[in-house]
Structure 1
Amino acid sequence: MKNKTGTRYAELFENTVIIAIGSFSSKVLVFFLVPLYTSVLSSSEYGFYDLIYTSLQLAVPILSLNVSESVFRFTVSAKSETKKIVSFTTKCCVYSILPAFMVLSAFAALGISDWIREYSVYILIFYISYMFNQYMIQLAKGIDKIKKMTISGVIGTVFMVGGNVIFLLVIKNGLRGFFVANILGQLIPAVYLFFSMHFWKMFSLTGNVDKDLKKMILKYSAPLILTNIGWWINNASDRYIITWGIGIDAAGILSVAYKIPSIIAVVYGLFIQAWQISATKEYEKSNSGSFYKNIFISLNIFLYYMISLFLLFTKPIASIMFAEDFYSAWIFVPFLLLSSYFSASAGFIAPILTARYDTKTVAYSTITGGVVNILLNIILMFWIGTMGVTIATAFSSFIIFAVRYYSARDVISGVNLRRVLALWLAILIQVVLEINSVYFFQFVPVVVVSVLFRKNLIEYIRVLKLTINKRLKMN
C-alpha cells in the first residue's frame, strides 16, 4: 500500500517537474517583458489588447462548446474511443470559426468600435490560434504526451517573446506587432503538437460518432461552458466595468496590476496541469480522500509563503515591472493576490469534481461567484473606486471555493478547514498592512503561521532532504 501511495505522489511530482522545466523559465521571460509592453504601448492600446484577450477566453469555450475540456476527460477514461472523440470534438472547434467571423463582421459593419474594425482580422486569427492551441494541449494531456505538451509551451514562448522584441523594438509596429507576436505564440505550438502527436491518425473526417458518445461529451462539456463564463466574469468583468465607470486608461492600469498576481497563477498553473491528471486517475482508487487532503493542505501552505513574499516586496517588484505611468497600479495588487489564493484553492477542487463528472457543481459555483462579482464591482466601484473592484474579485473567488468545498467535502476527507482559514486570515492581515504601508508588522503573521504549521514544515524539509540524497546517490 505504501508503494502505491508513494507512486501517487511521485507521479504528481514528476508530472509537475516535467511541466515546470518546460514552462517555468519561459513564463519568467514573459514576466520580464511587462516593462517592454508598458513602455512601448499606451495604456489605451494595452487596455484594448487585454479586453480582446479576456474576451477570447470567454468566446472560445462558448462557440466551441468547450470540447477542449471533454477531449482530456474522455481520452483518459475511454482510450479505445480516442479516434471518435477526437473527430467529433475537432469538428466542433472548426464549426465555431463561422460564428466568430460573423460576430466580428457585425461589430465592424455596425461601427460599434473603431478599434475592433481596425483589428478585426488580427482578432479572428488570434481566436483560431488560441482555440486550437488550447485543444491540442488538452489532447496531449489526455493521451499522456506530457513531455510534448511541455515542449510546445517552450516553442510558443520563444516565438511570442522573439516576436515581441522584433515587432515592438526593431520594426516598431506597435499594437499590430503585439497581436502578431501573441498569435505566433499560440499558433506555432499548436502546429508542433499537430505533427508530433500524428494528429491525422486520431482524426477521421468521414467517420461516424454514435449518438450516445456525442451526448456524453456534450453533457459533460455544457456545464463547463457556464464554468468558463463564471471565471471570465470573475476575472475579466472588472475591466469592462472599470472601462464603463471610470475609463479605458483606468482599465489599463488595473490590467497591469494583474501582472504580479499572474505570477502566482503561472506557478500554480504548472501544478494544476499535473493535478488534473492525478485527480482524474486517482478518483476511483482506495483512500483517494486522504491523498486529496494531504495535497490540499500542502498546496495552501506553499501558496501562503509565496503570496506572503510577494506582499512584502510588492512595491519593489512594481518599480521594476511597471513603467513610470503604471507604477500607481501597485496599490491594487494586494487584494488581487488574496483573490489568487482563493482561486487556486477553488481550482484545486475542480478536477476532483470533474473526475466524478460533476461539472454542474463546478459551473454553479463559478456562475454564483461571477454574479456576486458583478454586483459588488458596481457597488464598490462607485463607493471606493478601482480598489473596490479588487475587493469584489477577492470575495467572489472565496464564494467559488466555498461552494465547491461544500460539494466535495465527502471526497476531501479529514481536512481541518480551520487551519486553512487561519492561513487565509494571516494573508488578509498582511494585505491590509501592505496597502497602509505598514511593513514591519507583516512579519508577525508569518511567524504565527510558521509556529502553527511547524510540524508540516519539518516534514516537508525531511522529505526534501531524502529526495535530494536519493538523487545524489543515483548520480
Structure 2
Amino acid sequence: MSHQSQLIKNTIIIAIGKLGTQVISYFLLPIYTALLTPGDYGTYDFICTLAIFICPLITLLMEESMFRFLIDAKSDKEKKSIISQTIIYSVIGTVIFIPIALLVMGFGTDYSPGMQVLVILFVISNLLLGLSNSLARGEGNIKLYSISNFILGILTILLNIVLVVIFKSGNALLIANTIANSATAIFVFAKMKLWKYVGHYNKIIMNRMIKYSVPLVPNSISWAIINMSDRVLLTKISGEAVNRNLCYGL
C-alpha cells in the first residue's frame, strides 16, 4: 500500500472514531434531558469542562509528547524509555493532584466526600484514556485506536442508559463515564502489553519530552478557560439548584 493510500486510510479511521463520539453524545441527550434535573446535568457538564482544564496541568501534556517521540523512535529500547517517562511523570502529577483537589473541593465546594472521590476518579479516567489514545496512535496502531473508540462508545451508551435510568442523578453520569474511560484505557494497555515498556527514569529523555510538551499547555488551557469561564459565572450567578449549565451545555 502506498504512503498516500495509507494516509487516507488512517485519516478515515481516525475520523470515524472521532465522529462516533459526537454521535453518541447526540443520541444520549434525550435520556439526559428526560431523566436528569437541570442541576444534575449542569454539575456534570461543569465537571467535564473542569477536567479538560485540569488534565493538561497534571500531565503537562506528556501524552502528546509521547505520541510525537514514539513516531521517531528507532528501537524498542527507545520506545520503552519514552513510554516510561510518560508513565512516571503522569503518576507523579496524579499523586500531587489528589490532595490538592481534595483540599480545594473540601473548602471551595459543598460536594460530599463521596462526590469528591468520584470527581477525582473521573479526572484520572480521562488521563488514562488520553494516555491510551496517544500510545496506540504513537505506535502506529490506528486499528486499535479505532476499535478502542468503538468500545468506548458502546460502553458509554450502555452504562449511561443503565445507570442514569436506575439512579436518575448526575452522579450516575460520572460513574458511567469513569467506568467507560477506564475500561477502554485498560483494554488498550493490555493489547499493547504496556508492562513490557515500563522501565527506569531517564533524565535526558524526560527533559526533552517536557521541553516539547510544556509549550502546548497554554494553548490547551486557554481553550479550556474559554469553555469553563462562562459556566463558572452561570454557576455562581444562578446557583446549583437552578443551574443554567444544562441549557447552556445543550
Question: Fold-level match, TM-score > 0.5?
Answer: yes
Q: Structure 2: which amino acid aligns with 1:243? A: T
Q: Structure 2: which amino acid aligns with 1:120? A: Q
| Structure 1 residue matching 2:69: 3-state secondary structure | helix
TM normalised by structure 2 equals 0.90
1:166 maps to 2:158: no
Report if aligned partners of 2:43, 2:170 keep a CA contact under 8 Å in 1. no
Give the CA deviation at 1:42: 1.2
Report if aligned partners of 1:240, 1:251 keep a CA contact under 8 Å in 2. no
Structure-2 change in CA distance of 1:146 and 1:63 (3 Å):
same
Matches of 1:113 and 1:243 in 2, distance apart?
12
| Structure 2 residue matching 1:115: 3-state secondary structure | coil
TM normalised by structure 1 equals 0.49
Q: Structure 1: which amino acid aligns with 2:127? A: M
Give the CA deviation at 1:231: 1.3
Calculate percent identity across the aligned residue pairs. 30
Matches of 2:201 and 2:115 in 1, distance apart?
38
Report if aligned partners of 2:70, 2:138 keep a CA contact under 8 Å in 1. yes
Give the CA deviation at 1:134: 0.3
1:55 maps to 2:56: no
| Residue ranges of structure 1 left out of the alignment (5+ in a row) | 257-475
The aligned counterpart of 1:152 is: 148
1:175 maps to 2:173: no
1:142 maps to 2:134: no
Give the CA deviation at 1:140: 0.8
Matches of 2:66 and 2:41 in 1, distance apart?
33
Matches of 1:118 and 1:202 in 2, distance apart?
34
Alignment match of 1:185 (pick from 180, 189, 208): 180
The aligned counterpart of 1:325 is: none
The aligned counterpart of 1:93 is: 90
Report if aligned partners of 1:68, 1:135 keep a CA contact under 8 Å in 2. yes
Matches of 2:33 and 2:163 in 1, distance apart?
15
1:132 maps to 2:124: no
Report if aligned partners of 1:69, 1:138 keep a CA contact under 8 Å in 2. yes
Alignment match of 1:215 (pick from 203, 207, 212): 207
Matches of 1:25 and 1:214 in 2, distance apart?
34
Structure-2 change in CA distance of 1:50 and 1:190 (3 Å):
same
Matches of 2:106 and 2:230 in 1, distance apart?
27
Structure-2 change in CA distance of 1:123 and 1:79 (3 Å):
farther
Q: Structure 1: which amino acid aligns with 2:104? A: F
Structure-2 change in CA distance of 1:26 and 1:55 (3 Å):
closer
Q: Structure 1: which amino acid aligns with 2:94? A: I
| Structure 1 residue matching 2:198: 3-state secondary structure | coil
Give the CA deviation at 1:25: 4.2
The aligned counterpart of 1:106 is: 103
Matches of 1:20 and 1:89 in 2, distance apart?
26
Q: 1:306-364: CA deviations, max 9, x gaps?
A: xxxxxxxxxxxxxxxxxxxxxxxxxxxxxxxxxxxxxxxxxxxxxxxxxxxxxxxxxxx
Give the CA deviation at 1:228: 1.4
Q: Which entry has the higher C-alpha Rg, 1 or 2?
A: 1
Matches of 2:224 and 2:17 in 1, distance apart?
27
The aligned counterpart of 2:220 is: 228
Structure-2 change in CA distance of 1:108 and 1:23 (3 Å):
closer
Q: Structure 1: which amino acid aligns with 2:187? A: Y
Matches of 2:184 and 2:206 in 1, distance apart?
28
| RMSD of Structure 2 on Structure 1 (CA) | 2.1
| Structure 2 residue matching 1:33: 3-state secondary structure | helix
| Number of residue-to-residue matches in the alignment | 246
- The structure showing larger relative contact order (alpha-carbon pairs under 8 Å, at least 6 residues apart) is 2
The aligned counterpart of 2:248 is: 254
The aligned counterpart of 1:309 is: none
1:424-463 matches, cutoff 5 A: none
The aligned counterpart of 1:16 is: 11
Give the CA deviation at 1:242: 2.9
| Structure 2 residue matching 1:49: 3-state secondary structure | helix
The aligned counterpart of 1:36 is: 31
1:65 maps to 2:60: yes
The aligned counterpart of 1:342 is: none
The aligned counterpart of 2:234 is: 242
Q: Structure 2: which amino acid aligns with 1:102? A: P
Matches of 1:102 and 1:233 in 2, distance apart?
22
| Residue ranges of structure 2 left out of the alignment (5+ in a row) | none
Report if aligned partners of 2:85, 2:205 keep a CA contact under 8 Å in 1. no
Q: 1:50-87: CA deviations, max 9, x gaps?
A: 11111111111111121011000011122432111100
